[in-house]
Amino acid sequence: MILRRVGFLFAASVLGLGVITSATAAEPRTRLDIRKPTAAETLIELGLSMGVSVGGVEACAGPGAPLVGTFGLHEALDRAIAGRGCAYAFVDARTVRFSPRPSTTVLRPRSPNPARLSESIALLAPLTVSAGKRPPRLGSLPGGVSVIEATRLQDAGATDTNAVARQAAGFITTNLGAARNKILLRGLSDGTFTGRTQSTVGTYLDDVPVNYNAPDPDLRLIDVDRVEILRGPQGALYGGGSLSGIYRIVTRGPELGVFSASAAATTASTESGSPSYRLEGVVNVPTSKASAGRLVIYSDRDGGYLDDVNLRLSNVDKTARRGARVAWRLDQGDWRFKLGAARQSVASKDTQYVTLAAGGPRRANQVRETHRNRLGQASLKISGSGDWGYFESVTGYVSHNYASRYDATLSLSQFSEGALELGLYDESARLRMAVEDLFYTGPAMGRLRWMLGAFMATTIEESASELRARAGGVSVGLYDEDRKDRLNEYALYGETTLDLGDGWKAALGGRAFKTTAHTRSGVMVPPPGQSRDLDQRATFSGFSPKLSLQRDLAGGGLIYVLTSEGYRAGGFNSGGLLKPSESRRMFRPDHLRNYEVGLSLDPWRGRVNVRTAVFVVDWRDIQTDQYFGSGLSYTANIGDGRNRGVEVEAAWRVTPRLTINGNALFNKPKLTRIEPGYGITDTARLPGVPDVSFGGLAIYQRPLSPWASLMLTAETGYVGKSQLTFDPRYSPSMGGYYTGRLSAQILAQGWRAALFVSNPWNSSSDTFAYGNPFSFGQVRQVTPQRPRTWSLSLTAEF
């Protein structure tokens, strides 16, 4: 019945598209959400959004006027410059020039033929990315870069990391659960397990890293300006933890001179599951002419959909999330100060895997496998610019606490020969990180541009793990470890770019780094295990280079060649029933070298944008988290690997109302050298990495009346097959599944109503996750997709 009603809604909506109002006959209209602090910045963003070139924006003074809603080009220009002391004129159909408005006369803008405007197709806007420590246009940056702007995130209903994965080539996440997952980029995986190895992808909230060896915190994408993804090693500018790329969430900052607020509510129903909801609110308040504050709050619950037959509980895997962000901004002449703080807590009642049994998949645990994840961040950003150059300093502090419980009953025989009934394993970590990152970009010296930076960070992690069992109603301790790690990182980095003329540019960058690690650990385990203490120090240092050569093409495209490098520091193993052997007492640093050739094109006069790259990656001494037969984890250098592939991203403005985005990754990851002692065959490959993955998003919008329009979206993604571990002999195949989402949305001035359906075909395919390390290898674990889910949301802006 629900499907019939939704089908009727979609059919009625499509038929409604045949109603053409006189308001759309004048010129094509574009939905905008521009809130910039100055009029000049507003006009630059307007040009990017509407696909026109703008010049002379400095003639428009004063604060920026917010542009939120659906506008024609002239309407948006008129609103943006109202009271700003400037006027505009069309040089041609794609170029707008601004000039000071004379006090004695009023300039009337010279516009192209309105009839031609009504037939034109708005060009795809060139996006801006700042993740390269500078703000170049996306199309002019050599490397695999994706920018997903706020409008597209909102249109697709993307509110978390998993939703981003469908919109960027080679972006894959595991599916253990909210705030438990790992991000994988460009087919580079050190395994699907989450242990002590540093992340291969650096996650940033604005300018501060928020993860080290912790899982991705899965921050809600609420009130964000854009998401930036840099593929390939970024060691030269970002250091350790950026081995395969950077995932950066850029939040919307406080806006000067503007009071605004918004609120949104979502309710959802999952088939055979419990209901879900989401609430959020945003308020921006000017505190003076030169300062403003912004507050974001949100709370949501994802209802469970798995039943545990042993515990006789239904929908056990509920997850609750709460968070808030606050920021304050002060502008003083050429200097800007921004103070921000963020906090998010995630609590899951249970994990989301099932086991395959004779009667089919089922959940049959002895205990609830809970998880808690709390992230806090504070930052101060100071930036200034002038004829002397540009300076930026970011000081940050991150607190990340997380804890998990597992049912360890099936592994109790590894710890004791006695009769034990139930095993509980609890692990927790408290991570504190202080960061200082500053850089200076000097003024151009003829054809030479240059930048120098320094980075310092101290990370302290205190972790504890405990295994207890029940025997005859009595609790027995079988394993206990307390561990403390302290890492100090220091680095100097820089980059120079030389304009060679005729569109050619060469860039050379590098990072000299030093990392010190100090680990203390105490393990208590009854015989025949070995209780022991550990106190070890190590220092790792090196240099990470980057070199690129590019040529800008006519029409805004470019072709480039690039080589870059990434690295991770080493560390110590301390856990296990027995003292680690000499070969496994310490794991070595690993490093990755990337070779890449890329191309960006804007054919059909900007209606199509295509970005593609062919890459070869060599990965030496791969660090990976593994498990002993007992279920306890350790980190090893498994060997060397290589990946070769091609990635493609494309956008096509088919008509003024229809836009299609697509992405794909084709690659062939493998191990080229296997470390002896692990019993892995020569057919081993990198785990958790499919040979093929792709995604697509289509957005269709058409006015229904002078004040409202209809939007239809269709999104899909595919993740190919892969193995869970390095050795295919003991690793079942997973993956080979589709994800998707459809929506029908009504947009009007200041509000939006949207109906979404996720996983519309109700697939239960096995996704990338391992479930429980204490039963891994003893039972087949499967993590199905969330069943078909209907959601209805309402957003209002004030």
Average pLDDT in the 151-180 region? 89
The 3-state DSSP class for residue 24 equals: helix
d(CA 665, CA 188): 12
**What was the pLDDT predicted at 91?**
62
Instruction: Using a pLDDT cut of 70, give the percent of the chain over it.
Output: 89
Q: Is the peptide bond before 528 cis (omega within 30 degrees of 0)?
A: yes
Q: Structure tokens of 107?
A: 């300039």
Average pLDDT in the 611-636 region? 90
- By C-alpha distance, which of 320, 222, 326, 318 is closest to 264? 222
pLDDT level of residue 157 (50, 70, 90 thresholds): very high
Virtual torsion, Cα 51, 52, 57, 62, nearest 10 deg: -50
- By C-alpha distance, which of 23, 325, 30, 29 is closest to 151? 30
Written as one string, the DSSP assignment of 130-156 is -TTSS--BGGGS-S-EEEEEHHHHHHT
- CB contact set of 115 (below 8 Å; sequence gap of 6+): none
Backbone angle region of 332, left / alpha / beta, with phi > 0 → left and psi within -120 to 50 → alpha: beta
Could you give the C-alpha distances from 657 to 74, 101, 127, 537, 623, in angstroms and in order? Answer: 18, 35, 20, 61, 48
d(CA 208, CA 216): 14
Q: Structure tokens of 619?
A: 């990965």
**Rounded mean pLDDT of the chain?**
85
**What was the pLDDT predicted at 393?**
95
d(CA 637, CA 541): 18
Q: Structure tokens of 144?
A: 């695999």
pLDDT level of residue 730 (50, 70, 90 thresholds): low
pLDDT level of residue 522 (50, 70, 90 thresholds): very high
d(CA 454, CA 511): 9
Q: Domain 27-116 adopts which CATH fold?
A: Phage tail protein beta-alpha-beta fold (3.55.50)
**What was the pLDDT predicted at 355?**
86
pLDDT of 106 higher than 50: no
* Total Cβ atoms within 10 A of residue 502: 7
pLDDT level of residue 342 (50, 70, 90 thresholds): very high
Q: Structure tokens of 145?
A: 């870069």
d(CA 629, CA 414): 8
Helix, strand, coil share of the chain (percent; to 5)? 10, 55, 35
**What was the pLDDT predicted at 129?**
46
Helix axes 73-81 and 39-50, enclosed angle (nearest 10): 170
| CATH number for the segment(s) 247-287+303-409+420-797 | 2.40.170.20
Angle at CA of residue 517, ends 515 and 521, nearest 5°: 170
Written as one string, the DSSP assignment of 630-680 is TS-EEEEE-EEEEEEEEEEEEEEE-SSSEEEEEEEEEE--EEEEE-TTS--
**What was the pLDDT predicted at 681?**
67
pLDDT level of residue 110 (50, 70, 90 thresholds): very low
CB 557 within 8 A of CB 601: yes
**What was the pLDDT predicted at 94?**
62
Average pLDDT in the 156-168 region? 90
For 602, phi then psi, to 5°, come to: -130, 70
Please name every residue paired with 701 in a beta bridge, in sequence order, or none if there are none: 711
CB 270 within 8 A of CB 277: no
Residue 23 per-residue DSSP state: G
pTM for this prediction = 0.84
Q: What is the gyration radius of the CA atoms in the chain, in angstroms?
A: 27
For 358, phi then psi, to 5°, come to: -60, -35
d(CA 627, CA 629): 6
CB 231 within 8 A of CB 239: no
Average pLDDT in the 48-65 region? 74
CB 677 within 8 A of CB 583: yes
d(CA 143, CA 138): 10
pLDDT level of residue 105 (50, 70, 90 thresholds): very low
d(CA 145, CA 159): 20
CB 630 within 8 A of CB 529: no
**What was the pLDDT predicted at 102?**
57
Q: Structure tokens of 454?
A: 């320094």
d(CA 161, CA 63): 34
pLDDT level of residue 341 (50, 70, 90 thresholds): very high
Q: Which stretch of 2-6, 19-23, 704-708 has the lowest confidence by average pLDDT? A: 19-23
**Superfamily of the domain at 141-246:** TonB-dependent receptor, plug domain (2.170.130.10)
Q: Tokens 């009727």 belong to which residue?
A: 8
pLDDT level of residue 346 (50, 70, 90 thresholds): very high
pLDDT of 60 higher than 50: yes
Residue 197 per-residue DSSP state: S
d(CA 273, CA 321): 18
d(CA 187, CA 184): 7
CB 643 within 8 A of CB 187: yes
- CB contact set of 352 (below 8 Å; sequence gap of 6+): 175, 176, 177, 306, 317, 769, 783
pLDDT level of residue 493 (50, 70, 90 thresholds): very high
**What was the pLDDT predicted at 552?**
86
Every domain of the chain and the residues it spans: 27-116, 141-246, 247-287+303-409+420-797
The 3-state DSSP class for residue 259 equals: coil
Summarize pLDDT for 743-761 with one digit per residue, the tens.
999 999 889 999 999 999 9
Instruction: Using a pLDDT cut of 90, give the percent of the chain over it.
Output: 51
Written as one string, the DSSP assignment of 398-461 is EEEEEEEEEE-GGGGGGT-SS---EEEEEEEEEEEEEEEEEEEEPPPBTTEEEEEEEEEEEEEE
Average pLDDT in the 699-715 region? 94
Could you give the C-alpha distances from 25 to 72, 120, 145, 744, in angstroms and in order? Answer: 11, 12, 37, 24
d(CA 795, CA 751): 5
Could you give the C-alpha distances from 472 to 72, 308, 420, 468, in angstroms and in order? Answer: 76, 24, 8, 13
Q: Which stretch of 280-284, 489-493, 578-582 has the lowest confidence by average pLDDT? A: 578-582
Q: Which stretch of 56-70, 177-191, 782-796 has the lowest confidence by average pLDDT? A: 56-70
Average pLDDT in the 177-201 region? 82
d(CA 18, CA 11): 12
Summarize pLDDT for 270-308 with one digit per residue, the tens.
999 999 999 999 999 999 999 999 999 999 999 999 999
**What was the pLDDT predicted at 27?**
63
Average pLDDT in the 188-212 region? 83
Q: Which stretch of 34-43, 233-242, 528-537 has the lowest confidence by average pLDDT? A: 34-43
d(CA 450, CA 448): 7
Summarize pLDDT for 416-440 with one digit per residue, the tens.
877 788 999 999 999 999 999 999 9
CB 220 within 8 A of CB 323: yes
Q: How far apart are the first and last CA of the chain?
A: 36
